[in-house]
């Protein structure tokens, strides 16, 4: 299909408006990508990446060439990645946690299997507005050899997240324990109490009251199993408080954390609790509003 001069003027206008939405350093790449998408052509940047992967040359690419290809990849990733879908990155304060989250997001959602510390630092700085140094990311990942696979690239290393790293990231969201699936944790608890799945019923365990009459008792594990079958973790703890009416009036995150620690003996980190409550807000189980002090207060969405 041939385009007329007015067509091109309109295309350039739309592409310019799209490019204006990204940081200045990325606007040239964003403009080119927008033109490709608007005209229906194969994206120039992606085509360059795919062609570089498909080449079967016996000569190894020079470090300079590898660096240029890596820069192209991260430009595309920065345009495609939506930071609002990943609040957990900003909810944790550890460089290692943030770096692992970026590696997983890039791999599972954008097909990018591995990033270098400078790329991770750039994504955190430009996309998530978390000022991060290359050296800090390199040091954090360099000491996490059980969570990531390190591959030499140029004068540095490319890091790829492994299964143990995926489990670790899941733990940050309160879904499991690092390196141990939630099913394994529940199995260990059942073994410790001498119970099977069906023995969790309050009518199965029994004891004598001293008069020869058998009295059915309910174990602590049995009571836990009644609470909607939730996995152990911050999200489950908050849902338990919801069912008990704790959120009938607004509560700050600090109030919730103190209550769980003082009344339930649960030591939950601030980042973990904040992320779990944010997920429940997005699930419309909790509502939140800012108070006069600028803190979020959470309450039951139905109250």
For 138-167, the pLDDT digits (tens) are: 999 999 989 999 999 888 899 999 999 999
For 228-268, the pLDDT digits (tens) are: 444 458 888 999 999 999 999 999 999 999 999 999 888 88
Q: What is the pLDDT of residue 95?
A: 93
Q: Which of 70, 161, 173 is nearest to 123 (CA)?
A: 70
Q: What is the pLDDT of residue 42?
A: 47
Q: Which of 72, 130, 79, 67 is nearest to 101 (CA)?
A: 130
Confidence tier at 179 by pLDDT (50, 70, 90): very low
Question: Mapped to the 3 state alphabet, what secondary structure does 43-64 carry?
Answer: CHHHHHHHHHHHCCCCCCCCHH
Q: Which residues of 188-215 are buried (b: 16+ CB within 10 A; e: fewer)?
A: eeeeeeebeeebbeeeebeeeeeeeeee
CA distances to 28, 34, 85, 132 from 23, in Å: 10, 15, 19, 17
Could you tell me which residue, 199 or 262, shows the higher pLDDT? 262
Q: What is the pLDDT of residue 4?
A: 60
Q: Which of 48-57, 68-77, 106-115, 123-132 has the lowest mean pLDDT?
A: 48-57
In DSSP terms, which residues pair with 297 in a beta bridge?
252, 289
pLDDT over threshold 60, residue 204: no
Mean pLDDT of the region 220-225: 48
């Amino acid at each position: 299909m041939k385009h007329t001069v007015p067509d091109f003027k309109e295309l350039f206008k739309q592409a310019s408006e799209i490019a204006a939405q990204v940081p200045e350093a990325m606007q040239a790449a964003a403009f080119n990508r927008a033109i490709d998408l608007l005209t229906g052509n194969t994206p120039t940047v992606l085509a360059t990446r795919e062609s570089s992967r498909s080449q079967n040359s016996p000569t190894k690419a020079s470090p300079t060439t590898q660096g240029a290809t890596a820069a192209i990849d991260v430009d595309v990733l920065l345009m495609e990645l939506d930071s609002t879908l990943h609040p957990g990155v900003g909810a944790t304060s550890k460089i290692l946690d943030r770096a692992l989250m970026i590696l997983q997001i890039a791999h599972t959602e954008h097909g990018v299997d591995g990033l270098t510390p400078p790329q991770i630092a750039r994504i955190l700085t430009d996309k998530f507005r978390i000022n991060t140094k290359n050296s800090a990311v390199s040091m954090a990942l360099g000491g996490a050899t059980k969570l990531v696979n390190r591959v030499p690239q140029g004068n540095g290393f490319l890091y790829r997240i492994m299964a143990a790293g995926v489990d670790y990231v899941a733990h940050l969201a309160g879904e499991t324990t690092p390196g141990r699936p939630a099913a394994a944790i529940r199995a260990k608890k059942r073994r410790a109490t001498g119970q099977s799945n069906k023995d969790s019923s309050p009518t199965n365990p029994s004891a004598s009251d001293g008069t020869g009459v058998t009295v059915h008792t309910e174990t602590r594990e049995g009571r836990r199993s009644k609470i909607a079958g939730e996995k152990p973790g911050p999200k489950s703890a908050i849902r338990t408080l919801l069912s008990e009416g704790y959120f009938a009036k607004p509560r700050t995150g600090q109030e919730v954390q103190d209550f769980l620690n003082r009344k339930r003996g649960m030591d939950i980190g601030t980042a973990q609790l904040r992320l779990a409550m944010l997920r429940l807000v997005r699930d419309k189980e909790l509502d939140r509003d800012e108070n006069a002090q600028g803190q979020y207060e959470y309450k039951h969405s139905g109250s």
